[in-house]
Amino acid sequence: MSLSKRIRAISPSPTLAIDAKSKQMVADGIDVVNFSVGEPDFDTPDHIKEAAIKAIHDGFTKYTAAAGIAELKKVICKKFVDDNGLEYSPDQIVVSVGAKHSLFNAYQALLDEGDEVILQAPYWVTYPEVIKLAGGVPVVVDTDETTGFKMTPAQIREKLTPRTKVINLNSPSNPTGAVYNRKELEAIAEIVLENNLYVVSDEIYEELVYGGVEFVSFAALGEQVKNRTIVINGVSKSYAMTGWRIGYAASPLDLAKGMAKLQGHVTSNPTSIAQKAAVAAIGGPKKPVRDMVKEFDKRRKHMAERVNRIPGFNCGLPDGAFYLFPNVEYYFGTEIAGRKIETSDDLAEVILEQAKVAVVPGSGFGSPKNIRFSYATSMERIDEGLDRIEALLK
Residues above pLDDT 90, as percent of the chain: 92
For position 2, what pLDDT does the model report?
86
Q: What is the pLDDT of residues 276-295, one digit of tens each?
A: 999 999 999 999 999 999 99
End-to-end CA distance of the chain: 48
pLDDT band, very low/low/confident/very high, at 13 (cuts 50, 70, 90): confident
> What does the pLDDT look like over 196-254, one tens digit per residue?
999 999 999 999 999 999 999 999 999 999 999 999 999 999 999 999 999 999 999 99
- What average pLDDT score do residues 309-321 get? 95
Is residue 12 scored above 90 in pLDDT? Answer: no
Average pLDDT, the chain: 96
Question: Is the pLDDT assigned to residue 268 strictly greater than 90?
Answer: yes
Over the stretch 87-140, which tens digit does the pLDDT of each residue have? 999 999 999 999 999 999 999 999 999 999 999 999 999 999 999 999 999 999
Residue 167 pLDDT class (50, 70, 90 cuts): very high
- State the average pLDDT over residues 320-331: 97
Predicted pLDDT at 8: 86
Q: pLDDT tens for residues 43-81? A: 999 999 999 999 999 999 999 999 999 999 999 999 999
Per-residue burial over 279-306, b if 16 or more Cβ lie within 10 Å, else e, is bbbbebeeebbeebbebbbebbeebbeb
Inform me whether the pLDDT recorded for 37 exceeds 90: no
pLDDT band, residue 161 (cuts 50/70/90)? very high
